[in-house]
Amino acid sequence: MPKEFLLSSHHNGLKTAALLGLLTALILGAGYWLGGSGGLVFAVVISLALNAGSYFFSDKLALRAMRAQPVTEAEFPALHQIVRELATAAGQPMPRLYVSPTMQPNAFATGRNPRHAAVAVTTGITQLLDRRELRAVIGHELSHVYNRDILISSVAAALAGIVTSFAQLAIFLPLGGSDDDDGPNPAALLAMLILGPLAATIIQLAISRNREYQADADGAALTGDPLALASALEKIQYGAQRLPLPADNRLTSAAHLMIANPLKGGGIGSLFSTHPPMEQRVARLRQQAGAIQYR
């Protein structure tokens, strides 16, 4: 595997360990605060279930959200050839390939590691991009897999789920500070219901923004063609804006996996966008192309 991928994977492993440490601290502190030793035991059970679910089933949930179906080499020979070529160049196993019947141009990768990875593209992106641009997009998605980005996202999602679970549990448990100690403290309850999930969401979205820049750079290094990815991103952005997907629960939870935001922008939702501005991504790729040219 190229040195760039080894470094990114190592750094993401450290990030994952840090998030797991934060998750453990959250469980110990909030569980004991809400219910003493009994609350701590309950919190541990919740955390184990959520971590296991996010780790082992995140790929299935994302593929189902986009109605993606597995495709054979006979059905999409060019796609299989591109993926096999890039996986071989990276020294990694061939991922499973899926196609979503969505006309919006988009793509995503999922799976907990390279041996359990899946790459999915929409029908729209296969019709919009030429072969060079599609190859660049596949390089971006494979970089997410090789950098262990999906694992980080799963851990962050588990962290968000834990905080939300504690917020819901707080409705039924006294948090202290009330006059008769028979009910929850309204101020503490309000803070947990609002600030807890918000903080967890910010953690998850911050990771998503940083990882897109890294996958752009590593994908362009894998394909050796930053300008093709820049061109593809501009086309995808235009197509996604023309054909936004509905913001239902399943698609919202999978939106951070896409190479471009599949949902309609604008309003307060743009404040929590999981993707960096496309103009900045394209500018960085063009700078990367210039650096390669003058080596």
Residue showing tokens 């362009």: 220
In the set 141, 212, 234, 279, the catalytic residue is 141
Measured CA distances, 211 to 140, 161, 258, 277 (Å):
11, 21, 12, 13
- In angstroms, rounded to a whole number, what is the distance separating the alpha carbons of residues 45 and 191? 24
Tally of CB atoms within 10 A around 60: 12
Residue 141 among the catalytic residues = yes
| Coil, helix or strand at residue 170 | coil
β-pairing verdict for 107-111 and 96-100:
unpaired
At residue 74, what are phi and psi to the nearest 5 degrees? Answer: -65, -30
Residue 222 tokens read as 């894998």
CA distance 171 to 190: 10
Would you please indicate which residues are annotated as catalytic (active-site) residues? 141
